[in-house]
Amino acid sequence: MGRLIRYRYPILVAFAVAGLVWGRHAYRPVVTDWLVFEYAARVLLQWHKYAALGGPPLHLYARNPWVQIGPPAIYVTAAVQWLPWQVGQAVVDVVMTALGITSVIAVERGMLIACPPANRRQVQATTLFLGAPTLVAWPYLTGFWQHVDDLMA
């Protein structure tokens, strides 16, 4: 048990990578939500000069009512526009997974500060045994749905 707790961070990262691989290779419809983010970012930043794709950037939502994403998430997606869409999608998936790992570690650090030193081992064990399923589900959902706006909330 002591070794598991000592190596909890590499174990949590392994669970997160497994969840991300599982989510990226799970069944997805042909048009994923990432393509909506990608389309909206390209129309807003690059293609707005073409009238057929939406006209001025502020007309993005009027001409494309199926785009239900706020501008902050579109601008985050626009940060990877210089990459091919599949590579940008993978980069955003890795960043979202890394933020999930960081969140679990931050919760553990907060608990270590709040709890007395006698409970340190218990907090570390809880991080491992509750963080592992969390870090399978989080990257699975980020790899499957790729909702940048949910991550920003």
pLDDT by residue (tens digit) across 10-21? Answer: 999 999 999 999
pLDDT tens per residue across span 84-102: 878 888 898 899 999 999 9
Residue type, 83: L
In the DSSP assignment, the letter for residue 115 is S
- Distance of alpha carbon 147 from alpha carbon 23, whole angstroms: 13
pLDDT tens per residue across span 25-40: 876 655 678 888 888 8
- Distance of alpha carbon 109 from alpha carbon 115, whole angstroms: 10
Position 7 pLDDT exceeds 80:
yes
